[in-house]
Amino acid sequence: MKTINIGILGYGVVGAGVAKLLKQKKQLLESRTGAVLNLMTIADIDTTTDRGLDLGTTALVSDAYKIIDDPAIDIVVETIGGETIARQFILKALENKKHVVTANKALLAGYGNDLVKTARKNLVDLAFEASCGGCMPIIKSLRESLVANNIKSMSAILNGTCNYILTKISKDGSSFEDALKDAQDLGYAEAEPSLDIDGFDTAHKLAILNSLAHGMEINLKDIHVEGIRNITPVDIEFARSFGYTIKLLAIGKFHDDHVEARVHPTMISDSNPLSHVDKSMNAIVIDADATGQTMLYGHGAGMMPTASAVLSDIADIARNIILGIKRRVPILGYPEDNIKIIPILPMKELYTRYYLRFEAQDHPGVLAKISGILGENNISIKSVHQKGRNSNGKVPVVMITHIAKEAWVQKALKQISKTDSVIGDPVVIRIEEIAQE
């Protein structure tokens, strides 16, 4: 049986998970792939902390180049994360003709096009199933299963931290701050949580998925990103009364000459399967022209779910090595020569429906003023909801609009803010309708 030598860069949570699977599932993996997947070397600056794993013959070294430059290593697994040293290591590994498996979405979103080019030049594979949606087979589905489909749209919950916090606010009426604190105590959120809660991690994943879905270059910088810091129990309660749930969604839609790519809190109706995805679970709904609506659901993070996805990439590459082939499926699903640059729609050009909540002064004519300004800006209102006055004498006024242009809405809101009818900034949450099947 052929032996395939693997090196892992980074012995943190994910790296240790990969090592654990390679050790504990040795027999299973041999039986299923027909190869010995030999974990030859792990490199980490910390070579002393005990990760509770019997490494056997595997070397633990502090110098990454002991893997990257080792001619015996076939597959380099990068689980360091970040965009600086990981990038340098991956580029060098690819140049050394090693296949690379990574879970690093930030790196792929920022520099993926370069990495793909380098892999191509060196005729090796670059695989990243674990970068989006943890153990859910999103990448394989887009690259292989949906091969005969044009993807019309994707909407996805891709950050477990945000989904946990939103579920917590929704179920317990917690404030955002309390829900974040709870997520931090449980280890779902980092001490510095911005990457997750401000939507950037979700945007990284969307940049990758949009590329695979539509055969386009990875484009992170034009994705509109909003996080969940401003979500309150009040808005979640209003949403519920309309049959909506609030989720942080990554939305990618294909139009003939452009795509939409945006990350923001979104109201979705209870008939949308994503509305039932709670706590730290992730899910993606893909609407494709032949399949119609499909959904994948699972753990989007965590040691073993992420390691499982890394192993599926390793096994794919191992099967190729045994058969003497490589680059069987194009890295981004389409051959590099056919990958297009497709522009992302500027946010101000978006047409969608809106939930608007104002803190209105409780005096006559306020509603007429607000709705007048909206009307002047071509925004028609589907429904208005006004609750009794608050203890502070202010009245929350909620409006659901018909489809309107983002530019109109922003302009109208600026005008409304300038009047003495409302206090503070209005809350704006976009509403996403998924066609019912």
Question: Binding residues for its own copies, per CB under 8 A?
Answer: 21, 25, 28-29, 31-34, 129, 134-137, 140-141, 144-150, 215, 273, 276, 279, 281, 283, 288-299, 302, 304-305, 307-309, 311-312, 315-316, 319-320, 323-325, 328-330, 333-335, 338, 437
Residue 13, exposed/middle/buried by CB under 10 A (0-12, 13-18, 19+)? middle
Q: Which is nearer to its own copies, 294 or 371 (CB)?
A: 294
- Is residue 224 a contact partner of residue 347, using CB atoms and an 8 Å limit? yes
Q: Which is nearer to its own copies, 104 or 149 (CB)?
A: 149
Q: Which is nearer to its own copies, 7 or 134 (CB)?
A: 134
Q: Which is nearer to its own copies, 227 or 298 (CB)?
A: 298
Rounded to a whole number of angstroms, the minimum distance from the CB of residue 321 to its own copies is 11
Pairing verdict, β 151-157 and 244-254: antiparallel
Q: Which is nearer to its own copies, 20 or 181 (CB)?
A: 20
Q: Which is nearer to its own copies, 33 or 104 (CB)?
A: 33
Q: Which is nearer to its own copies, 69 or 289 (CB)?
A: 289
Q: Which is nearer to its own copies, 301 or 416 (CB)?
A: 301
Rounded to a whole number of angstroms, the minimum distance from the CB of residue 183 to its own copies is 16
Cα separation, 310 vs 57, in Å, equals: 21
The 3-state secondary structure of the chain reads CEEEEEEEECCCHHHHHHHHHHHHCHHHHHHHHCEEEEEEEEECCCCCCCCCCCCCCCEEECCCHHHHCCCCCCEEEECCCCCCHHHHHHHHHHHCCCEEEECCHHHHHHHHHHHHHHHHHCCCCEECHHHCCCCCCHHHHHHHHCCCCCEEEEEEECCHHHHHHHHHHHHHCCCHHHHHHHHHHCCCCCCCCHHHHCCHHHHHHHHHHHHHHHCECCCCCCCEECCCCCCCHHHHHHHHHCCEEEEEEEEEEECCCCEEEEEEEEEEECCCHHHHCCCCEEEEEEEECCCEEEEEEEECCCHHHHHHHHHHHHHHHHHHHHCCCCCCCCCCCCCHHHCECCCECCHHHCEEEEEEEEEEECCCCHHHHHHHHHHHCCCCEEEEEECCCCCCCEEEEEEEECCEEHHHHHHHHHHHHHCCCEEEEEEEEEEECCCCC
Rounded to a whole number of angstroms, the minimum distance from the CB of residue 188 to its own copies is 13
Rounded to a whole number of angstroms, the minimum distance from the CB of residue 333 to its own copies is 7
- Is residue 95 a contact partner of residue 70, using CB atoms and an 8 Å limit? no
Q: Which is nearer to its own copies, 242 or 334 (CB)?
A: 334
CB atoms within 10 A of CB 376: 12
Integer-rounded Cα Rg, in Å, for the chain is 24
Rounded to a whole number of angstroms, the minimum distance from the CB of residue 294 to its own copies is 4
Rounded to a whole number of angstroms, the minimum distance from the CB of residue 31 to its own copies is 5
Rounded to a whole number of angstroms, the minimum distance from the CB of residue 23 to its own copies is 11
Pairing verdict, β 224-225 and 281-288: unpaired
Out of 98, 168, 205, 253, the active site residue is 205
In degrees, rounded to 5, the angle at the alpha carbon of residue 173 between the alpha carbons of residues 283 and 168 is 30
Rounded to a whole number of angstroms, the minimum distance from the CB of residue 102 to its own copies is 17
Cα(first)–Cα(last) distance of the chain, in Å? Answer: 48
Rounded to a whole number of angstroms, the minimum distance from the CB of residue 348 to its own copies is 32
| Residue 205 annotated among the catalytic residues of the structure | yes
- Active-site residues, by number, are 205
